[in-house]
Structure 1
């Protein structure tokens, strides 16, 4: 039993603690804003500032969050552009006031001065089909009242976006593995198989869990940190760093 405990502790150290310490060390060498007042929240130019009036679009965006949390986690949000209009709607969850915010920042605005990247995007007819389903999932988010936000293990900003992605499985994606809080069970279910049977999730309320399938590859979640293997797009999932491709 003692040997088993030692091996388990060593495995946790190698898979989760050591990479997290490395990520924290890397983060401390980077210049970043910890104060929201002095941070840059302006548009980053990742998506067109003024979209054309034509096709619909959907973007899932993410950026490193602020403070020491940025060493280990991203902040993610959704951007919707409906057909026939020239503006975006940005949806996300924050930790103050009403959790679910609409258009509180520029669609591709920096987060605590950290530039965002596109996790995935949809355009045209595909986006038009997805938008009503995404909107319904946003409206059905069960933690949208003041006081519902919990920074760890959730529900937080990543729990919200992950809720939408799970509610609309035809989007076919999961958030990056370093989006801490994405594995919190917003529907209260500890074991879930997606409607299309492409992925399954098992979790202990976001504190620990496992997921596998074409979207996740194989992942182990420990205290919100995720280690795993991306199978279809070969790479490793490393706590703090996210996906590291081969």
Structure 2
């Protein structure tokens, strides 16, 4: 029995030691500087971001979210699904306004999955907002198979085909939306 546990214990120790995000309370949430500055970008903007999931889970999966900025707006609306909100008795779906929609996801630098600006963005923002209002799993979160943080943008993308959203392979749970 001990011989079987030793490799698993070693693997767990390795994954924990190699994680740069060991404490969510002190992990970076600074802006990555990849979003258009709303004070300098007068046009509408739609962006979808993804960053490694927290801690060792980031080796396998990403967390994704949607940011929209209407033409002339001074802030973005960020929409995401977060599991720990459900554990606290709150809806998993969370929306808020910020000038920095590209913040690190608890130590993990985000990457753009999709970026649309100008008139095309202005035309699809109302459709995105409508899809978000009708998201069927707003109060649910299950790591696997979903619904989770990746199910949400995938579902919005299915409702708004003009978004032309192609979710990355590591967006585990995005297939739940199908």
| TM-score range for the pair, normalised by the shorter chain length | 0.7 to 0.9
Q: Residue 133 of structure 2 is aligned with which of 122, 139, 142?
A: 139
Does 2:87 match 1:93?
no
Q: CA deviation digits over 1:115-149, x for unaligned, max 9?
A: 0011111111100111010001111001112xx11
Confirm or deny: 8 A CA contact 2:51 2:110 kept in the other structure. yes
User: How far apart are 1:43 and its partner, in Å?
Assistant: 1.0
TM-score by length of 1: 0.60
Structure with more relative contact order (C-alpha pairs < 8 Å, separation 6 or more): 2
Give the strand-richer structure, 1 or 2.
1
Q: How many residues align?
A: 160
TM-score by length of 2: 0.82
RMSD: 2.2
User: How far apart are 1:173 and its partner, in Å?
Assistant: 2.4
Q: Residue 142 of structure 2 is aligned with which of 139, 150, 153?
A: 150
Distance in 2, Cα, partners of 1:50 & 1:29: 38
SS in structure 1 opposite 2:151?
helix
Deviating 4+ runs (over 6 angstroms): 26-29
Q: CA deviation digits over 1:141-162, x for unaligned, max 9?
A: 01112xx111111000000010
Distance in 2, Cα, partners of 1:170 & 1:27: 39
SS in structure 1 opposite 2:172?
coil
Stretches of structure 2 that go unaligned for 5 or more consecutive residues are 1-11, 86-90
Stretches of structure 1 that go unaligned for 5 or more consecutive residues are 1-23, 190-246
